Structure 1
Amino acid sequence: MINIPQVKLGIVAVSRDCFPLSLSEQRRKAVAAACTEKDIQVVELQTIIENENDVVKALAEAEQAGINSLVIYLGNFGPEGPLSIMAQRFAGPTMFVAAAEEATAGLKDARGDAYCGVLNASYSAGLRNLAVHIPEYPVGTPCEVAKMIGDFVPVSRTILGLQGLKIFSFGPRPQDFVACNAPIKALFDLGVEIMENSELDLLDIYQAAEGHADIPKIVAEMEAELGDNNPYPDLLPKLAQYEAALLDFHAANMGASTFGVFANKCWPSFEKFFGFVPCYVNARLAQRGIPVACEVDIYGALSEYMITCATNHPATLLDINNTVPQDMVEANAAVMGNYTAKDLFMGFHCGNTAPSCMKNSQLRFQKIMHSLMEPGKEPDITRGTLEGQIKPGEVTLFRLQSTADTKLRAYVAQGDILDIDPQSFGAIAAFGIPEMQRFYRHVLVEKRYPHHAGIAFGHVAKTLYQVLNLLGVSDIDYNQPAQERYPNEIPSVFL
């Protein structure tokens, strides 16, 4: 994957001056050894922080080592002032964790009291308005702390990605798709930049890429990727020209940012002037870590990128689209597991899902656009989708969205993509989300979320939830289990 950060994690031990410094040092070494056993790469800072002068030394050591994410480890009670200053002055994401006592024998002369120290550390961080990651239970043995550090890696990667992100948008949202956009102020609040461009700008960079030196290589890649599922070989040079144009624009316009994603207008005028549908190119860029959200969905692009960083795997953006017919449910009882018909829906989009995330796929034409733009004709300008069944497996639905009054809210919901033939068109699959019917009504509808959902191929709700907490997003919804009532849900006794 390109276009996502590489996490270089450091661990610094802290020690309150009335406790043995050696206790923090030996415990830090034990954590680092446990990380090595779990194949978690972490750089041990040799400075142990007891006072502010040590903070200065540790920061210099971290900078020299190229560390961009930091674990502050309370090997004993820890000095809450200096450790908070360390978190404040360090530029990247930071986590507080602490040592559990090892054995009864150590409680008389080598007790660390880090359980108590975390309380003071958290209080001091709050005084400084610091967004510090504190695990669900932050005190543990070396092996347990190593697992917490491993869980922190995708959280760090996502935060670092957002800190360096720019979203390139092309065109206004399509008519009647007002839901696909939202005020951009909240992006700046997150530290995300945006560069808005017109559809004419997009056409200009595409036309300027005619004869681009990379077109033959991209066509060859597409041919190899599609294999026999390529009924339109004549279309590939146009798609390759578009891909080359977007990649050149991406590289040339990063500016002060490090990573970039797109939110592009893809219909209805696009097809007339470009002569194709851009979906397959969007899918290929998503495969490389550069999501291209459809319909100028800026917050959809943001959500896809967060998923990409959290999973180190391509994301996609799908419509929460249609119900699953009852006869299809009954015909697929063997793969339903504990899901009922009320837990199911079909996720669909024209053909923007990365090839590696598809069970089967073929270069096709967009059926709905074809009926509007080329009725009764052989498909021409509506060709360019990548269609088929999306791979079954674990899935997380996710979206971070700004409200009209620029407040951030989000949802996460875990479930499965079921191995059910959707018997329809587009990039599509049957999704099972526990209690989906209630989640749909009392979160998606009630809180006025748009129809696009970011799709993570795996269960990563925990990581995304932790990222949202670090970002200060307090309005986070998830699919409530059956026994838990939504605040706006009619009590069952009234039904």
Structure 2
Amino acid sequence: MNVAASKPHIKLGYVPTRRSIFSAPDAIKFRGLTAERLTELGVDFVDIDDVNEEGLLFDDSHIQPIVDKFRAAGVDGIMLCHANFGTEYLCARLAREMGLPVLLWGPRDERPEPDGTRLRDTQCGLFATGKVLRRFQVPFTYMTNCRLTDPEFERGVRDFLAVCNVVKTFRHTRILQMSTRPFDFWTTMVNEGELLEKFNIQLAPVPMTELIQAVRAAEADEAGLAETLAWIGEHMKIEITSEQTRTVAALANGMKALIDKYGCKAGAIQCWNALQDELGIMPCAANAILNEMGIPVVCETDIHGAISALMVEAAGMGETRSFFADWTVRHPDNENGELLQHCGPWPCSVACEMPRLTYPLAFDHPGALTAEAKHGELTLARFDGDNGEYSLLLGNARGIDGPKGMGTYLWIEVENLKRLEAKIVEGPYIHHVVGIHQNVVPVLYEACKYLGITPDFYDPIEEDVRAYLRGE
């Protein structure tokens, strides 16, 4: 059983541009230097060096060939490299036509010539293009005017690739909805039609009977079951019967089969109570197995929670697994501390100890994990909405010490818990959140501008995030 999550692959459309009144030879020089630097960084990009002799955008006739080439190659975002001043209206026309994330950048200008002449005036061109992109209503990401060797260049390019990954993932999301939401969970109610109309987010609903059928089919696949059981034995301390463990493995394999069948990227399951009547287990550990694969499966049919997990996973570029949690209780000793916990669906790689495959806190059936998560710096995020408006709650936290818990859990500390508490209660958020042991707040913040979502910080850190994005 291959549980390792696949690394995302993002392809960049590279568009160096110039304006005729500045040095064409110098623009050609810098279009080449920038391409070399992107290659050094391992960026997969599609060049326009065959569109004209210079490999530069500077005439209206260049736009359609570039569009055709980029679409054929399946690029995920475009980089407008101002090799000299650049032609702002051509950049805007191309960007509008492509409808993809846009990285606006130009190399820092050199010292003027002894006679006072300047070869490129790149910074001035960036000012012009930024304005015209706004006129065309094209959202864009600005990477500070820097040298190719500056650390801001590498960081800015890598962050932009992550932004492209979030946008690509969000715009092509299909979620397996396994049964209805639990009756008691009115908080996880969603507007399926609106998600499709606004964001192209699709649901693939299947009844509980179809899920059970998939589990029974998985039980009959001895080879597949043995592979999953071997993985469980290697990564979990088993404290339930062998038959119950076998059912956990069959549920994981059955869910994976349905996710593949319906072309989904994530799942949301009605984890209680009908499932226990049919299988006699909780699905938490089975969820954890798929979560380890980078296929988020969230609890209580929380569709918005699954969307949150996909966004966070995409922002992390496959480097770290995310975890789906409840905001539960305040820390008994730390005024800004809170317990993140759930019955046991977190990936094993999140834990600071070998998870125990056992019984959950609030239910009588086995199949949940118990383990404390690693401490360290975190990003916490929640996509949610109501009344036609959607936003992304996001911010940072850090793992701290606290009392022993059950299920998968982590005590965290934020800057101001009372402010966060009010933000969740006043909405549009609920008691569910997704965490990851990476700082992906700037990437998620930047991705929101392309998705029609309002970024909503629970701490007043927006200026700090913008300063990071400026390379400060």
TM-score (norm 1): 0.84
Give 1:67-466 correspondences, 5 Å limit: 67-90=75-98, 92-105=100-113, 108-135=116-143, 138-143=144-149, 144-188=152-196, 189-212=198-221, 213-226=223-236, 228-254=237-263, 260-311=265-316, 312=318, 313-326=320-333, 341-360=334-353, 361-370=355-364, 382-403=365-386, 405-418=387-400, 420-441=401-422, 443-466=423-446
Secondary structure at the counterpart of residue 348 of structure 1: strand
Secondary structure at the counterpart of residue 153 of structure 1: helix
* Kept after mapping to 2: 8 A contact 1:206/1:245: yes
Equivalent of 1:480 in 433, 442, 460: 460
Q: Which amino acid aligns with 1:366?
A: P
* Kept after mapping to 2: 8 A contact 1:186/1:402: no
* Kept after mapping to 2: 8 A contact 1:417/1:430: yes
Distance 2:405 2:419 in 1: 25
Distance 1:366 1:8 in 2: 43
Shift of 1:437: 2.2
Unaligned segments of structure 1, at least 5 residues = 327-340, 371-381, 485-495
Aligned length in residues: 447
Shift of 1:115: 2.2
* Kept after mapping to 2: 8 A contact 1:316/1:354: yes
Distance 1:215 1:89 in 2: 48
Shift of 1:450: 0.3
Cα 1:59–1:109 change in 2 (3 A) is farther
Secondary structure at the counterpart of residue 141 of structure 2: coil
* Kept after mapping to 2: 8 A contact 1:422/1:428: no
Q: Deviations over 1:118-149 (max 9, x none)?
A: 233233323333233234xx322223333311
Give yes or no for the alignment of 1:468 onto 2:448: yes
What's 2:470 paired with? Answer: none
What's 2:26 paired with? Answer: 23
Shift of 1:264: 0.9
* Kept after mapping to 2: 8 A contact 1:232/1:363: no
Q: What is the percentage of aligned positions where both structures have the same residue?
A: 21
* Kept after mapping to 2: 8 A contact 1:266/1:278: yes
Shift of 1:455: 0.8
Secondary structure at the counterpart of residue 278 of structure 2: helix
Distance 2:382 2:394 in 1: 7
* Kept after mapping to 2: 8 A contact 1:393/1:457: yes
Cα 1:107–1:24 change in 2 (3 A) is farther
Unaligned segments of structure 2, at least 5 residues = 50-54, 465-472
Shift of 1:4: 6.6
Q: Which amino acid aligns with 2:336?
A: D
Distance 1:106 1:262 in 2: 64
TM-score (norm 2): 0.88
